[in-house]
Structure 1
């Protein structure tokens, strides 16, 4: 069975500092983040035999992926397609006004389909989705289970573009916590979510939500 598991990285120092850290050099995992990665490996090991792991090049994701690889005996490859989306001139900072703009642009992207807008002059929605989709198309046809280690912002923006039963509104209002996962499988010729966090999803079901912005990034 072909199966993709999209996992958010463990807690990093950037999460605690509330700064944009979407380029290298970046912030490492905290001790808690490392423990979360070990716990994720244990959960995944009880569900499936993982054949391969792909990770964002950002340090917090690479560290999470290598914990998974060591625990599960799976090779780890780095893919730029999984990096967090670029926020231009806001990189490295944590100005509350910039975070407000971030939230406003996410809502514009995922509620009003204003995909050309940018946070701090960084990537727009179309650019984010194009690189992400290219990797998903590549690995979706590979046999067995592939784990992809990425980021909360990336997944909120890009998963609705590759999962046929996930709406942008759902992704916006249900951000993934650190080391939470989305499980996807091919079903009737489409890639669909069968699990989002702790929620099991029927492949014929549709994940949708009212238009509102949830906290988290």
Structure 2
């Protein structure tokens, strides 16, 4: 049986600055974020985690490394878990860009406008094309897998891979830092 635990990274500097930081290694975890990751490791201690995959973004990598050390489980990189690209808005804290981000997320999930893009970045179809096959691949593995990713990614993609998550539910229940969604594969 396969169990997946989707985890959002700990609090990052980008969260506090309210900037788009969806490429590279610019914004790592805050001290609070490191504490959140340690607490998450404590909560996962009895879960018999077999493997951890992480987004390549620094905040996710740091979260996964803390889990790895505490749980004595290796971490593998997974581009599929990266936060979605927001194109020209990368590094921006402009409220107008954040409003567009929310508008596009709503049109993706509620209106099915799969080709819209935030700041010229990825479309919903682009994200689904990388995320869904990776999750399908992981469900073929036995044991418990932790997937360290991002809030925006999970808000739009968990409904694609989990049968009991609706678009509306995902929109109004975003994952907080280090919050987790546990599921069992029916395959």
- TM norm structure 2: 0.98
Mapped contact 2:41–2:66 kept (Cα < 8 A): yes
Q: Is residue 147 of structure 2 the alignment partner of residue 134 of structure 1? A: no
Report how far residue 58 of structure 1 moved.
0.1
Aligned match of 1:162 = 161
Residue 77 of structure 1: aligned partner: 76
Which residue in 1 is equivalent to 2:16? 16
Displaced runs of 4+ in structure 1, greater than 6 A? none
SS in 2 for 1:182: strand
Residue segments in structure 2 that go unaligned for 5+ positions in a row: none
Indicate the residue corresponding to 2:25 in structure 1. 25
User: Is the contact made by 2:4 and 2:185 (CA closer than 8 Å) also made in structure 1?
Assistant: no
Which residue in 1 is equivalent to 2:89?
A: 90
> Within 5 Å, which residues of 2 pair with 1:50-199?
50-187=49-186, 189=187
Which has a greater percent of helix? 2
Distance in 2 separating the partners of 1:128 and 1:168: 15
Unaligned runs of 5+ in 1: 190-217
Distance of 1:142 and 1:123 partners within structure 2: 28
1:128 Cα shift?
Answer: 0.5
User: Aligned partners of 1:35 and 1:171: how far apart in 2?
Assistant: 26
**Structure 1 residue 82: Cα displacement:** 0.4
Distance 2:26 2:143 in 1: 32
3-state SS of 2:114 partner:
coil
User: What is the root-mean-square deviation of aligned Cα atoms in Å?
Assistant: 0.8
Distance in 2 between residues matched to 1:38 and 1:158, nearest whole Å: 26
**What is the deviation of 1:129?**
1.0
Shift of 1:175: 0.1
How many residues end up aligned between the 2 structures? 187
Give the C-alpha shift of residue 166 in structure 1: 1.0
User: Which secondary structure state, in structure 2, belongs to the residue aligned with residue 147 of structure 1?
Assistant: strand
